[in-house]
Structure 1
């Protein structure tokens, strides 16, 4: 009987650009400003990114530009959830206190509020031009490019 060996290379291609955005706006407001200034059509996805059995969830906006073979994603990096605190006061009647916990999609960049992921099949996106347009939006504090190859948790950006 002949044996066939299937060699599987890495299916996931790291051909995307990643831009970090520092901005205190709500996610829908930032998506509106990006649509307006960058001529995009970002729309909120029906399902959020959920990790660790709904421990944290991150909103995601997407637009697929079919004519230029480019897919744009805007994803939040910060998830704040209110949970019950686990402490024992040693008294007969316990006080239940709520604690606000913060989770990050990419823990290496805890101060970043949003990420813009640009996946393109052909290298047609000029990230310098995009950064210049982002710097012209007054509500954005700062934005800069990140090398996705150097990220330890780049698997979280596969969606």
Structure 2
């Protein structure tokens, strides 16, 4: 009996995108406004935040579909803080109290220090990506921005927004 082998690499089409990490301390809507102004794009907030595998973590996401260049731009927050309260009843105490704990989750855990990620579908050439980085770095409130090699990411599946 002959053994047949199916290789899934033939059917799997890898998504090509450029990824830029942005460090800044401003709110997400303010950064989207400044990026729109600096890059000449039209990022708008999506109706629903990006839900990360039902882990009770949501990340704010902005999107713009460029129909002339056939690109989709996504600005997504890389951090999510979850506040939970636990009832602490100590038997030796007269009073019970709620203990508040804050947990910080990251969309791309390899780049925990990046506050935001700018994902551009359809991989850009080096010159265009460098030009975009220069324009982002000229924004006053941006501390730093850098290109992230998407093929080296372990959590690349976290960046599928559709």
5 Å-filtered alignment, 1:9-158, equals 9-85=10-86, 89-92=90-93, 93-120=95-122, 126-158=128-160
CA apart distance, 1:80: 0.9
CA apart distance, 1:65: 0.6
Whole-Å separation in 2 of the counterparts to 1:125 and 1:66? 21
How far does the alpha carbon of each residue in 1:35-69 deviate from its partner, in whole angstroms, 9 at most, with x for none? 00000000111111112425110011010111111
Q: Contact 1:14–1:149 at 8 Å: present in 2 too?
A: no
Q: Contact 1:38–1:133 at 8 Å: present in 2 too?
A: yes
Whole-Å separation in 1 of the counterparts to 2:108 and 2:123? 24
How far does the alpha carbon of each residue in 1:12-49 deviate from its partner, in whole angstroms, 9 at most, with x for none? 42310000000111100000000000000001111111
How far does the alpha carbon of each residue in 1:67-94 deviate from its partner, in whole angstroms, 9 at most, with x for none? 1111110000000121114766443542
Give ranges in structure 1 of 5+ residues lacking alignment.
Answer: none
Q: Contact 1:83–1:99 at 8 Å: present in 2 too?
A: yes
How far does the alpha carbon of each residue in 1:69-124 deviate from its partner, in whole angstroms, 9 at most, with x for none? 11110000000121114766443542111112111001111111000000027759
Whole-Å separation in 2 of the counterparts to 1:14 and 1:76? 20
2:97 is paired with a residue of what secondary structure? coil
Length-normalised TM-score, structure 1: 0.87
1:47 is paired with a residue of what secondary structure? coil
Give ranges in structure 2 of 5+ residues lacking alignment.
Answer: none
State the 4+ residue runs in structure 1 displaced beyond 3 angstroms. Answer: 5-12, 85-93, 121-125
